[in-house]
Amino acid sequence: MARSLWKGAISFGLVHIPVEMYPAVQNHTLDLTMLDRRDFSPIGFKRYNKNTNKDVAWDDIVKGYEYASGDYVVLSEEDLRRANPEATGTIDILAFVNAEEVPLLFYEQPYYLAPGKGGDKVYALLRETLRKTGKIGIANVIIRVKQHLAALVCVGDTIVLNTLRYADEIRDTGDLKVPSASTKSAAISDKELKMAMALVEGMSDTWDPAEYHDTYREDIMALVEQKVKANETKTITMPGKEKAAPVSGNVIDLVALLQQSIGKKPGKAAAANDEEEDEEEEAAARSKVRKVPAKTAAKAAAKKTPATAAKPKAKAVSATRAAAPARRKTA
């Protein structure tokens, strides 16, 4: 586990829980170095004094706030702490709310909270309270020099502090051209919805985060190995002819696309689709039968009855006539 980023306490009411904060995630981004294309030497960035143009060492760097053009107030780490000692060392819970009331759009960065010295029991008490009630704690916390709104969430046996975005940081969706339920061009039929639900059902699975990984990064690393083996480490690949991008347009037959998608996913989706098609065929057959009026059916039956009865009589007569000569010969 990495070093703790912050030490302080969770506070709600008269309760104080000593905790330490740890990063909950680690980034695996591609660390690409900028090079001079003339000799492929790495490019560096210098910290220099803008007045003297001389280099400045880290030990000589302090932070300041520009209160007027070119004028600064120097603020040390101690100044920042003394501005509000209680706020900088406390996760102050303001309220407890239902977890589902906070949209995922507001969640930003997670941090693990571990109990500090002597805080095991009260830490466990808060954790189990959050678990049993289904609540999350909405709190204020200062990390480094910025105050954050945060949510305290129970995840397994750990309390996770997840920083939240403020409401004014969420952009309004009013300018987006999103179809509403009454938009004619986005009208959805019951059949389309049923087939889409069948497709989702066929693709449903249990959540296993280990199954998902950064395939693009893996492809880039494979390309790096390939260029090293081919001794092409200094070769600059120039743009070539790009493949034609798939033409986007209106979906003419959404049902056909859904049927094709379901056909590629064997199992529950295909079975559900077959059952639905059988039901639809049976319903169509029943509806055809119902469409024939009773009077029309009766008339048709009446017309058919004489013709049908006449044929057996004709056969009987002909059979009798054929049998008569036979009897004479016998006699």
Residue 141 in domain: yes
Question: Which pLDDT belongs to residue 158?
Answer: 96
Domain, as residue range, for 296: 189-201+255-319
* Gap between the Cα atoms of 152 and 131, Å rounded: 11
Full-prediction pTM beyond 0.75? no
Residues 233-269: tens digit of each pLDDT = 888 888 877 666 555 555 457 777 777 777 765 444 4
Strands (E), 32-145: 35-36, 41-42, 63-68, 71-75, 90-98, 107-115, 135-143
Regarding whether 266 and 161 lie in a shared domain, the answer is no
pLDDT at 30 over 90: no
CATH number, residue 122? 2.40.290.10
Do both 98 and 194 map to the same domain? no
Between 323 and 178, the higher pLDDT residue = 178
Distance in angstroms (rounded) separating the CA atoms of residues 61 and 75: 11
Residue 253 CA to residue 256 CA, distance in Å, equals 5
> In this predicted model, what pLDDT tens digit does every residue of 265-313 receive, in sequence order?
544 445 555 566 566 666 665 655 454 454 454 555 555 444 444 444 4
Q: What's the domain count of the chain? A: 2
pLDDT in tens, 57-110: 999 999 999 999 989 999 888 887 777 766 678 899 999 999 999 999 999 999
Is residue 326's pLDDT more than 50?
no
User: Among 52-56, 81-85, 327-331, whose mean pLDDT is lowest?
Assistant: 327-331
Average pLDDT over residues 30-46: 90
Pairwise CA distance, residues 250 & 187, whole Å: 13
In a domain, 176, yes or no: no
CB-based burial label for 116 (10 Å; 0-12, 13-18, 19+): middle
Say yes or no: 117 and 193 in one domain.
no
